[in-house]
Amino acid sequence: MTGPLILAIESSCDETGIALVEGGRRIHSNVVASQVALHAPSGGIVPEVAARAHLRWIVPVLDEALETAGAKVEDVDGIAVTYGPGLAGSLLVGINFAKTLAWVHDKPLIPVNHLEGHVYAAWLLDPAEDREPPPFPLVALVVSGGHTFLVEMRDHLTYRFLGATVDDAAGEAFDKVGRLLGLGYPGGPAISKAADTAQAQDRVFPRAWLPDTYDFSFSGLKTAARRIVDQARVDERLPDPAEPLPAPVTAELAWGFQDSVVDVLVTKTVRAARRIGARGIVLGGGVAANSALRMRLAGEAEALGVPLIVPRPALCTDNGAMIGAAGALRFEAGVRAGTELDAKPSLPLARATDGA
């Protein structure tokens, strides 16, 4: 593979990720230090704790990424870094680290939008993998802990918004309902695991269709989940919320909730793909690690006759490689940042050359 070798840094939330990616596709290394265990006791991310953990791990993560790739910072063509959206304190750790590396080694600094990274994870190739890049036009569904949106792409780095969540992100709903079911943090993987063991699949949760739009809403589902879980407690004669529901009931409720989220996400994505005449569907973001979502979307994409391109689960959740994939295209488009680069906690997804 040819193309620029990019050193990419991701620290927008609770994972410290550094990767070396060649030509926007080939992963040479991709090291992620996860803070899941650190935040589990509080049931969510504590921003101050997250920023400190990034500071603690960023140098060892860089060392491992370089060692695995057998490269030095001098060998790379550019240094890409997530500058938003995300937690300000966490973003700043990565940004300042990237600026310092770029300055010391005299390398170009490339600002990357985290959401663009989730889209571009679909272009990544593992060391022995070979596959055509996703075809344009395509629709991309990004579902993460902080974002849920559907875009049309007719070319690289150019997005037309089709719809987005009007309230909670899908991952946020998974995390909240996971807590409600006593499944711990993060809720997504725990709900998925519990749902896989459900004996009966007849607990139906409501769907917010928001007809005639590609928008999503998950806050009503969360409220409904609370009501359904409370009713299950009454049925099981377990009034004390500290007492867990029997595992089979928890599994059925997890399945019902997950089925509602997956149904709406898949139905709208497939409808959008059909409407725009997409030649491919891309799925990304932490919730794309969900096997029920992957399987259902794969089935419907096949029925439509278009490929579903979805990265393996570790590339769906936050990582440096996805920033390297988007970073290479931005590098080739001439996008650069200087020492003034600042964290943009609410950065929207826009054309790469707009206001970067």
Which residue ranges make up the site for ligand KG4 (CB under 6 A)?
A: 13, 144-146, 171, 174-175, 186-189, 192, 285-287, 289-290, 317-318
Which is closer to ligand KG4, CB of 174 or CB of 331?
A: 174
Q: Which residue, among 244, 337, 240, 285, has the nearest Cα to 150 in the 3D structure? A: 285
> What's the min distance (Å) between Cβ of 115 and ligand KG4?
8
Partners of 15 in beta bridges = 34
> What span, in angstroms and rounded, lies between the C-alpha atoms of 257 and 263?
10
> What's the min distance (Å) between Cβ of 114 and Zn ion?
6
> What's the min distance (Å) between Cβ of 53 and ligand KG4?
15
From the list Zn ion, ligand KG4, none, partner contacted by residue 290 (C-beta under 5 to 8 A by kind): ligand KG4
Helix (H, G, I), strand (E, B) or coil at 246: coil
Which is closer to Zn ion, CB of 175 or CB of 318?
A: 318
Which is closer to Zn ion, CB of 17 or CB of 256?
A: 17
Partners of 6 in beta bridges = 21, 78
- Contact status: 148 vs Zn ion (CB under 5 A): no
- Residue 349: partners with Cβ closer than 8 Å, 6 or more residues away: 113, 115, 116, 149, 151, 159, 161
> What's the min distance (Å) between Cβ of 235 and ligand KG4?
26
- Contact status: 318 vs Zn ion (CB under 5 A): yes
- Residue 350: partners with Cβ closer than 8 Å, 6 or more residues away: 113, 159
Q: Which residue, among 258, 242, 141, 238, has the nearest Cα to 190 in the 3D structure? A: 258
> What's the min distance (Å) between Cβ of 192 and ligand KG4?
4
Answer for which of 144, 148, 269, 319 binds Zn ion (CB under 5 A) is: 144
From the list Zn ion, ligand KG4, none, partner contacted by residue 280 (C-beta under 5 to 8 A by kind): none
Given the rule CB under 5 A, which of 65-73, 136-144, 264-272, 291-299 is the region that contacts Zn ion? 136-144
328 sits in which H/E element: helix 320-332
Which is closer to ligand KG4, CB of 89 or CB of 186?
A: 186
314-340 as b/e: b if 16+ CB within 10 A: ebbbbbbbbbbbbbbbbbbeebebeee
Q: Which residue, among 227, 220, 249, 222, has the nearest Cα to 236 in the 3D structure? A: 249
> What's the min distance (Å) between Cβ of 189 and ligand KG4?
4
Which is closer to ligand KG4, CB of 94 or CB of 145?
A: 145
From the list Zn ion, ligand KG4, none, partner contacted by residue 134 (C-beta under 5 to 8 A by kind): none
Given the rule CB under 5 A, which of 2-10, 31-39, 244-252, 313-321 is the region that contacts Zn ion? 313-321
Beta strand extents in the chain (DSSP E only): 5-10, 15-22, 26-34, 78-84, 109-113, 138-143, 148-155, 158-164, 280-284, 308-309
Binding site for Zn ion (CB under 5 A): 144, 318
